[in-house]
Amino acid sequence: MLPCLIFEDEHLLVVNKPAGLNTHAPSPYAGDGLYDWLRHREPRWAALAIIHRLDKETSGVMVFAKTPQANRSLTAQFTARVVRKKYLLLTDRPARQKEFVVKSTLVRRGDRYLSQPLTRGGGIAETRFRSVRMPHVPGKTADHWHWFEAEPLTGRTHQIRVHAAANGIPILGDTLYGGTPAPRVCLQAVELQLKHPASGEVMQFSVPIDLPPTGIQSYAAAQTKGGLLWTTASWPSLALRQATIEGEETQAYRLVHGASDGCPGWYLDRVGDFLLSQSESPLTAAQQNELEHFAATLARQGAYHKLLARQPGQVQRLAASPRLVFGKPAPERFAVRENGVAYELSFSEGYSMGLFLDQRDNRRRLLSRHVAAGFPLCLPPPASRQWEALNTFAYTCGFSVCAARAGARVTSIDLSKRYLEWGRRNFRLNQLDPEQHNFIHGDTLDWLRRLEKKKRPFDVILLDPPTFSQSKTSGIFRAEKDYEKLITAALPLLPAGGVLFASTNAAAWPPEEFIAAIERAIRRARRKIIQRHSVPQPLDFPVSRAEPAYLKTVWLRVE
């Protein structure tokens, strides 16, 4: 069960949206929004409909319709303004009034909206504000903080933020409207009341308050020195992960993703009972402090740091391995769970620990046999045979394990015998008999040609090559130059209606050009794409202007 899920029945899905997540995807390759992520996650959510929106940095209650009846009913309730919404905001500016109503016209000017006097023909925006006392705010900092309940009677974009700023109480963190800088906009939708679309019963949904106190005393103290001090470990980047990752079913994920989480050049992962920090330089004092905060918050046993090399292939394995920073050292090999599947990892194997965390959602798609809304992974094979999956560049066989768990007979190809043996151990770790599957040591392009000669069909073919590799058989492989050659070699093994998964982490290769290369290869083979779903980076690898997407993946059903 997703931690952010509040309520679900046949008609409604109610969630607690975390701050830092858009309601819907801003563009095709700029990361998922909450709506897109939910709609494609479970088959029963395929018809999910957006009824209302929350700004990216606003957290709190959101309702989605699951049926046409619910969509009509909720839309009518929001239009008639019978849905009651209550927000909580935090400001560091004293208010002139304890209770007031703002009624104005909102006019857009660039990225902002302006509150102007009511004019004929303008859209009316109306909000009620009421000062409230919050007992959980530390007493000695109470004079610094002022809390307000806001009830929007209309539903205009940025309405509460604009009205608050126009009346002298800009929301903490809302720098767009004059608020004091903070890691997020301190606005939360704490309560939503509506009538059930089928029964007519009045339903009220509420969420715990997720605005400070954590870190608030440090913030107040730093204010007097002219600076800000927040701990990333406490708020808000951790909250996004805790809302969207299923607890102990997934024990490995990213906690801090560089500039997108306010920490340029620094990356931090939870890896089971340990933390793994990564950057191109040794840890700074501030990063060390953050690492200690995360370890204390998540009760991790130890923390490691790894120096990121610009050319990892030229770095010796031991030199590339992470070093223990503090705490208990990790065993030589240890297991973690991801989506309920066990994987063996190691911090002493060089540049990678045995699992690429940014492919977690794609491994889940194999596991559930569900790619996206209306896109099952594979059509039912004939009753006389098991469905077949081919995992090229298999590494430690993470994709292979998930496909096997989902009922496939899997063929895994990799240049490294050592990694294939690691893959066999991953099979055994999940009570899967590796002898029932194929592990092929060799060059992928060479083996694709061999399998074509043997007329071996595969219902699903997985292509996730390294950006650069070299083999004695095929020579140098560069993703941007040779990906079309790889697609061309794989297509003869894919029967009509089969699914092709294509992925690359070539950061400098624009996603439009990556997709175009795949399409060219498919057209040249006189095949046709009949279904597609592009997958952005997982939510714990957030995309921003400061930290653009590097991973590009697409699932294709080919005629």
The rounded distance, in Å, linking the Cα atoms of 151 and 153 is: 6
Indicate the number of domains in the chain: 3
pLDDT tens-digit readout, 259-284: 998 889 999 999 999 999 999 999 99
Using a 10 angstrom Cβ sphere, with 0-12 exposed, 13-18 middle and 19 or more buried, the burial of residue 10 is: exposed
Same domain, 53 and 86: yes
Dig out the tokens for 192 from the structure.
């939503």
Please answer whether residues 101 and 129 qualify as being in contact, where contact means their C-beta atoms are separated by less than 8 angstroms.
yes
Could you tell me which residues are beta bridge partners of residue 553? 503, 535
Last residue of a domain, one of 261, 296, 331: 331
Q: In this model, does residue 223 exceed pLDDT 60?
A: no
Q: Which residues contact 271 (CB under 8 A, 6 or more apart)?
A: 251, 252, 336, 345, 353
Does one domain contain both 205 and 280?
no
Burial of 282 (0-12, 13-18, 19+ CB in 10 A): exposed
Predicted confidence band of residue 219 (pLDDT cuts 50, 70, 90): very low
Distance, in Å, from the CA atom of 428 to the CA atom of 415, rounded to the nearest integer, reads 21
- In this predicted structure, what is the pLDDT of residue 206? 96
Residue 344's contacts (CB-CB under 8 Å, 6 or more residues apart) are: 333, 334, 335, 354, 396, 422, 425, 426, 429
Q: Are 153 and 51 contained in the same domain?
A: yes
Distance CA 318, CA 114 (A): 58
The CA distance from 325 to 285, in Å, is 12
Residue 327 shares a structural domain with residue 426: no
Q: What's 50's domain CATH number?
A: 3.30.2350.10
User: Is 174 a known active-site residue?
Assistant: no
Residue 336 forms part of a structural domain: no
Has residue 234 got a pLDDT over 70? no
Residue type, 324: L
- CATH code: domain of residue 283: 3.30.750.80
Name the H helices within 225-323.
237-244, 285-298, 317-320
The residue-averaged pLDDT of 228-247 equals: 71
Report if residue 240 sits inside a domain. Answer: no
148 and 130 Cβ atoms separated by less than 8 Å: yes
Distance of CA 185 to the CA centre of its chain: 20
Picking from 203, 219, 235, the residue at the C-terminal end of a domain is 219
What's the maximum distance between 2 C-alpha atoms anywhere in the chain? Answer: 81
Residue 401 confidence (pLDDT): 98
Tell whether 231 is covered by a domain.
no
The reported pTM is: 0.91
Between 371 and 122, the higher pLDDT residue? 371
DSSP 3-state of 8:
strand
Considering the candidates 32, 36, 55, 482, report the single residue annotated as catalytic: 55
Note the pLDDT of residue 316: 56
d(CA 146, CA 89): 8
Token pair 């714990």: residue: 540
Residues 201 and 251 in one domain: no
Residues 201 and 308 occupy one common structural domain: no
Q: Decide if pLDDT at 328 tops 90.
A: yes
Residue 215 to residues 137, 232, 243, 323: CA-CA distances in angstroms?
11, 9, 20, 29
For residues 97 and 94, give the distance between their C-alpha atoms in angstroms, rounded to a whole number.
9
pLDDT of residue 248: 83
Asked whether residue 207 is assigned to any structural domain, the reply reads yes
The residue-averaged pLDDT of 311-334 equals 80
**Which structure tokens are listed for 522?**
């498919």
Q: What is the pLDDT of residue 366?
A: 97
Q: How far apart are CA 371 and CA 17, in angstroms?
A: 23
541 vs 551: CA distance, rounded Å = 10
CA distance 125 to 105: 6
Task: Give 150-197 pLDDT, tens digit per residue.
Answer: 999 999 999 999 999 999 999 999 999 999 988 789 999 999 999 999
Is pLDDT at 469 greater than 90 in this prediction?
no
Question: pLDDT tens digits for 62-87?
Answer: 999 999 999 999 999 999 999 999 99
Determine the Cα–Cα distance for residues 478 and 465; give it in Å rounded to an integer. Answer: 9
Q: Specify whether 373 is located in the same domain as 517.
A: yes
Q: Does residue 274 share a domain with residue 200?
A: no
Q: Which of 297, 316, 331 is the endpoint of a domain?
A: 331
Give the single-character DSSP code of 467.
Answer: S
Per-residue confidence (pLDDT) for residue 227, from 0 to 100? 38
**Are residue 276 and residue 421 in the same domain, yes or no?**
no
Task: Please state, in angstroms and rounded to a whole number, the distance separating the CA atoms of residues 347 and 366.
Answer: 26
Contacts of 460 (CB under 8 A, 6+ apart): 366, 377, 378, 387, 388, 389, 390, 403, 408, 498, 499, 500, 501
Q: Give the closest residue to 151 by CA, choosing from 99, 112, 203, 92.
A: 99
Asked whether residue 443 falls in the same domain as residue 552, the answer is yes
Determine the 3-state secondary structure of 533 from DSSP: strand
32 within domain boundaries? yes
Query: Which residue type, as a one-letter code, is found at position 394?
Result: A
Its domain, for residue 503, covers 356-558
Virtual torsion, Cα 287, 292, 293, 297, nearest 10 deg: 140
Using a pLDDT cut of 90, give the percent of the chain over it: 76
Residues 95 and 155 reside in one and the same domain? yes
Dihedrals phi, psi of 325, to nearest 5 degrees: -95, -50
Q: Which two tokens stand for residue 49?
A: 């409909």
Burial of 27 (0-12, 13-18, 19+ CB in 10 A): exposed
The half-sphere exposure of 87 on its side-chain side, counting CA atoms within 13 A, is 26
Q: What is the mean pLDDT of the chain?
A: 90
Indicate whether 535 belongs to any domain.
Answer: yes
- Residue 343 covered by a domain: no
- Is the model's pLDDT at 383 over the cut of 80? no
| Residue pair 136/216 in contact by the 8 Å Cβ criterion | no
Q: DSSP character for 176?
A: G
Whether 230 maps to a domain, the answer reads no
**Would you state the structure tokens that stand for residue 475, as one six-digit string?**
């020579």
CATH of the domain at 482: 3.40.50.150
| Same domain for 47 and 97 | yes
For residue 374, is pLDDT > 70?
A: yes
